[in-house]
Amino acid sequence: MERVLLFAASMGLAPPPCVAATDKPDGSLIAGPAAVPLPDYAARPGIERSVTRDEYEEARHDRRFVLERFTYASDGLEVSAYVYRPTSSRAPLPLVVFIRGSYVVSDQAPLLVAMFRRIALAGFVVLAPMLRGSDGMPGRDEMGGVS
């Protein structure tokens, strides 16, 4: 994708309409972090394949933790990520980088929050960058770089 954007720029062309380009350096924060509102269990079709109602509701209402979403620049695109962390902590905590892949999915938060809570209860902060094209973001998942 970076090659496409560089070629387009060198030709004086705008990026393709399906690609929201950013001129910010890689890793630059674009928006957030902002708390993620979690819907009722029944409002998320297919959620039962990922989490039970009880696990979801425990995670949804556990005020010891917060789930936040932010967007950042990566290869000229805006990419989203989630962070699940304690609402208050006096000491630095170890980090788990949660990488998921192989298909593009929107609205990941309800499917992941119970798993993130289990990891957080073990004493970790969870950082979960999403794939390009997932979570309503521009781009195309290149499956680890394979175009």
Give per-residue pLDDT as tens, 28-46: 888 889 999 999 999 988 8
Whether residue 14 lies inside any domain: the answer is no
Q: Is 56 exposed, middle or buried (0-12, 13-18, 19+ CB in 10 A)?
A: buried
Residue 138 domain flag:
no
Question: Does any domain span residue 29?
Answer: yes
53-68 pLDDT tens trace: 999 999 999 999 999 9
Domain count, the chain: 1
Which DSSP string do the residues of 47-68 spell out, in sequence order? Answer: GGGT--HHHHHHHHH-TTEEEE
Is residue 12 assigned to a domain?
no
Is position 3 within any domain?
A: no
Domain span at 69 = 20-129
